[in-house]
Chain A
Amino acid sequence: MPYSTYKQLSSNARSWAKTFFSLIRSRARRSNAPKQLLTRKARRQGLRLAAGAFIGLVAWMPAPPVQAQITFPSATPISAGNVIVREQPFMASGGEGYQTYQNQIVVVYGFTPNIAFVLDSNSYVYQTARIQSTTESLQRSAMGFGNSQFVFRYTIMQEDDIGSTLRVAPIVGADIPTWMDDQSDKYGRVPPSLQPGWGAWGPLLGNTFTWQTLDWMVAADIVYQFNAAAEGYKFGNVFRVDGGFRYRLWPWPLRTGVPAEIYASLEANLINVAQDQAAGVVQPNTGGTSLFVDPGIIYTTAQWGVVLSALLPAMQQLNGSAPLIHYEILLLFRWSFFTPYHL
């Protein structure tokens, strides 16, 4: 679900830009400053704040999926020395002409039987949206290397039985800024709301739960993310709760050996984002609550797997007049291999 926030970003950014433009223009009139200069200043501030809002929404992104879940981290096992690489391209569409095509690369490493490290990198980000300025509406776009996220997971509870496991694993991590926020298109420098990267750190902590059997799996997580201020703008903190269920469709019944398997998956993401603050002032058109439902299908073998999932908005209660998100489609490939390096 995290990725759907990208769509909200751009549309929210537009409305926020309008708000700040009008605010700054009114201040300019009161101060009798030169109109042209103030207009440029207003544009810069408006775009910066709008970008900040966009960035804030990007910071909603949850911890990356650790292994089995599609849209949120889980407590599924990973062996010491095991490396799992996930490549997950996805696209999203929303109001105000917003579209994004992105590719995430997630590397999961089992450091010990209980400790796993996760590095999630947005290796490619392309975003486009209609950006409303004071005089016109332009379709702007930008591409580049997006932000990354690092997560540490520690399994504190493990109940194993033949063909089943129940695990609880808290996570701690942070968004790592890449500061790739100066891309340009034919109209000049792209508003920060569409830049692939941003400059704010976002520490997070949470807890994951997984109950897995030969036939089905239930997983859930709860994550709280703090968003640091960048250039005087602080994005709203994020609280999210996710749940997922998957059921084996094939082979049925299960035969001996280690067969490939196909699962049907259904996940849900409930996300609440607090309102942003600009110079300590709460921004009225930011934050809100969304619920997404994500049907998907999983094909997995012992060493690789592929997943296809759609992220559909079931409920969106956003503050202000932010356009709604339409849909997201996510494709996921994963490979597993071993290294001799572990504890």
Chain B
Amino acid sequence: MELLYSLSSVNYVLPVHTRLARGKGAGPSVRRQALAALGAALLLTLMAHGAGAQDAAHARRARQALITVKGVANPFSSFGIVKRLRQVPGVRDVSFDLYSGQALVTLDPAVDVTEAQLREAVRNASYTAGKIQWREVPLEPPAATDR
């Protein structure tokens, strides 16, 4: 109810200050309008906070690259592709599926990792990069893996 009241009083903020500036006395109506102004300020704060929370939620989404890697045919070879992709700045985590030949690379949202960087890493691992699919997912803490 307080919130609704404050909302309805927003339009009175300016008149209150105008009256005070004119030197008129602070009667009961003025106190009421002052409370309304405080309520309006609180409402604005809450709205601003809500908008910030939405921005933070958006920021916690990370990019992922699903890379089709050609040429990996056994577990011993998969070690190289995982290590080389992890050495790319901005890569938070890498997992590789030998059966499908796909590497899932989770990227740091604060770092702009390009497709060219990922393809170069695959090439340095002595393999061939195929199609790269980009997507966004909720950000999770980086995996505790050695680099």
A68 with B83, Cβ < 8 A, contacts A80-B125, A160-B71, A254-B98 known: no
A336 and B125 contact, CB distance less than 8 A = no
**A37 proximal to B (CB < 8 A):** no
A162 to B70, CA, bound (A): 4
- Which listed residue, A78, A162, A260, touches B80 by the CB 8 Å rule? A78
How many residues from A make CB contacts under 8 Å with B?
41
25 contacts between A and B (CB under 8 A): A77-B71, A77-B127, A79-B81, A110-B126, A113-B124, A113-B125, A114-B126, A155-B126, A158-B71, A162-B68, A162-B70, A162-B100, A162-B101, A163-B73, A164-B73, A165-B70, A256-B99, A256-B100, A258-B75, A259-B98, A302-B75, A302-B78, A302-B79, A338-B83, A338-B87
Beyond contacts A163-B73, A217-B73, A258-B97: 12 other A-B pairs, Cβ-Cβ < 8 A, are A77-B71, A79-B81, A79-B124, A113-B125, A155-B126, A163-B72, A164-B71, A164-B73, A256-B100, A302-B75, A305-B76, A340-B87
Determine whether B61 belongs to the interface, using a CB cutoff of 8 Å to chain A: no
**Interface check A269, CB cutoff 8 A:** no
> What are the 3 closest A-B residue pairs judged by CB atoms, nearest first?
A79-B80, A160-B71, A160-B70
Residue with the highest number of chain A CB atoms closer than 10 Å, among B68, B123, B125? B125
B73 touches A258 (CB 8 A): no
**Across the interface, which residues of A come within 8 angstroms of B73, CB to CB?**
163-165, 212-214, 217
Contact of B75 among A158, A259, A338 (CB under 8 A): A259
B89 contacts chain A at the CB level, 8 A cutoff: no
Q: How far is the CA of A114 from the CA of B128 in the complex (A)?
A: 12
B74 within 8 A of A: yes
Judge whether A68 and B127 touch: CB under 8 Å: no
Expressed in whole angstroms, the minimum distance between the Cβ of B37 and any Cβ of chain A is: 62
**Residues of chain A within 8 A of B79, CB atoms compared:** 82, 302-303, 336
Q: In residues 249-301 of chain A, which contact B (Cβ within 8 Å)?
A: 254-261, 300-301
A12 within 8 A of B: no
B15 adjacent to chain A (CB < 8 Å):
no
Interface membership of B142, Cβ < 8 A: no
When chains A and B are docked, how far (Å) is the Cα of A254 from the Cα of B98? 9
